[in-house]
Structure 1
């Protein structure tokens, strides 16, 4: 066992001058383009509908299921073609390649809210939400980091291929390029003029890609920030994860974060009857269809159950001890398969 320090501002100061300009540039560009959503000609009800639909398809089934519950924690099994479909949907959320995403998240679980945690909001809300993404840190990049935390993912030629030459980014570009021409073709098929069809295609691009991508970004990041600052706790997990109903609602279940930290391998993040987890319900449906199996059920020691109430983290206190061993999908948490 090794003793680690709580995250501090010193770590951020040490990273000054290491801004990761490619990511920062994309982040700024997307947010600067958001006012396009307020252009009247670029609004359509179909485009607006693509935000929640896209959130479920690319956010819930892609990031929540593909990146998180499947690749990171191996919460269930499925055919290879379906696994890769989930992952490609996750790639279309533009949250980095699957191997890197998995490595960062596994490190977060191993050192949650301690000094090595890549994105603890105990340093500051903005750092935990987005700041950690726009700096180049040797602790979350490079061959050693990826080999330590995501060796199993990078061992698959399909996933290592997505990482090589930023192929995952070009997959996102390819999917985004379909929205405008698709909208134009639909408009022309409905008998609209070319300008009307072009405006409709533009609305699908702005709302179905730009707005949806930024929305999925922020609700994913809210799990890292809000769900470690405000909410209630069902379990004593040794860090500051909370169950945040607002984040859970936006992310279709990922906001039950204290439950997740108590049983990381469990496919279901909602442990009480009213903790709705639509992502898990999708897996239940797929299991009934025979497309997924060996779904891991929550298994938490009774001694870890605590009084349920509001939680606000404290920045000071006794340091906790964390294991220094390399996490693996099977070692993250024991659980029963159902």
Structure 2
């Protein structure tokens, strides 16, 4: 699937599928889906329980995360919790100590028996599977179904929008396909590499605020690109904290979004850093 989606994203290079509307929609979706789905939904909420929110909102975050095609919630959480437990040791699923390519994408291309055993769910994601909603998402190809629903939503939204602007049926089809290519495939590839850069770059290059027992780093590039996820050394030093940017200049859009939810009464018990750096 990784190769196929990268290949489909390359269709964006064809002039027939280029238009600024599709590009702008893709940029907006890339920022929102990565921030809301992966950063807030999968990472700071499900994996680390850095805050609480209504169940309907939590499930909404997770559906958005599934649209990013980064695996089901229980498996994503299990792999990430294992990473924290065994960080930069041999059992770490994606330590870049085995090479940058391995830490970034290579680990996804090779079947890892340790991650394929059902026991990984019992050890690292039992709390997730207690929720019938998440248990259902592990079955019946729901990840694929949600992806197909997403494709149809973007296609028909683009198709109807072009018709409403006076375009012909053939122009509407071309425009709809351009929206799907940019807002689904290009956006998915962008969010993938945004997430993978946290696994690879922030364990190789950057500065350290805390003397943790692994090689996590705070990386400026990833910090800004991935909405605060790049302040990775801070995160490893205080995993439950919903705030990853610990110094005033470590801008953390994900945390600011959680604070906005808190102000609106949609988040509470937001976990703060235990030893905040001045």
- Identify the residue that residue 113 of structure 1 maps to in structure 2: 88
Query: What are the ranges of 5 or more consecutive residues in structure 1 without an aligned counterpart?
Result: 1-25, 306-338
Deviation at 1:167, TM superposition (A): 1.2
| Pair 1:98 & 2:73 matched | yes
- Give me the whole-angstrom Cα distance separating, in 2, the residues matched to 1:285 and 1:34: 33
- Give me the whole-angstrom Cα distance separating, in 1, the residues matched to 2:9 and 2:59: 30
- Identify the residue that residue 104 of structure 2 maps to in structure 1: 129
Q: 2:38 aligns with which of 53, 63, 77?
A: 63
Q: What SS does the aligned partner of 1:76 have?
A: coil
Deviation at 1:43, TM superposition (A): 1.1
| Pair 1:149 & 2:109 matched | no
Q: TM-score, normalised by structure 2?
A: 0.97
Deviation at 1:300, TM superposition (A): 3.2
- Give me the whole-angstrom Cα distance separating, in 1, the residues matched to 2:272 and 2:197: 25
> Is the contact between residue 57 and residue 89 of structure 1 (CA under 8 Å) also seen in structure 2?
no
Q: 2:248 aligns with which of 256, 259, 273?
A: 273
- Give me the whole-angstrom Cα distance separating, in 1, the residues matched to 2:252 and 2:262: 15
- Give me the whole-angstrom Cα distance separating, in 2, the residues matched to 1:169 and 1:276: 34
| Pair 1:86 & 2:75 matched | no
Structure that is richer in helix per residue? 2
- Identify the residue that residue 143 of structure 2 maps to in structure 1: 168
Q: What SS does the aligned partner of 1:232 have?
A: coil
Superposed structure 1 runs of 4+ greater than 6 Å apart: none
- Give me the whole-angstrom Cα distance separating, in 1, the residues matched to 2:72 and 2:203: 24
- Give me the whole-angstrom Cα distance separating, in 2, the residues matched to 1:269 and 1:35: 33
- Worse-superposed segment, 106-115 or 172-181: 172-181
Q: CA RMSD in A?
A: 1.3
Deviation at 1:212, TM superposition (A): 0.2
Q: What SS does the aligned partner of 1:164 have?
A: coil
Deviation at 1:164, TM superposition (A): 1.0
- Identify the residue that residue 250 of structure 1 maps to in structure 2: 225
> Is the contact between residue 232 and residue 242 of structure 1 (CA under 8 Å) also seen in structure 2?
yes
Deviation at 1:301, TM superposition (A): 8.4
Deviation at 1:32, TM superposition (A): 1.9
- Worse-superposed segment, 293-302 or 74-83: 293-302
Query: What are the ranges of 5 or more consecutive residues in structure 2 without an aligned counterpart?
Result: none
Q: What SS does the aligned partner of 2:193 have?
A: helix
> Is the contact between residue 218 and residue 231 of structure 2 (CA under 8 Å) also seen in structure 1?
yes
- Give me the whole-angstrom Cα distance separating, in 1, the residues matched to 2:212 and 2:268: 28
Deviation at 1:58, TM superposition (A): 1.4
| Pair 1:212 & 2:182 matched | no
Q: What SS does the aligned partner of 2:98 have?
A: coil
- The count of aligned residue pairs is 278
Structure number, greater radius of gyration: 1
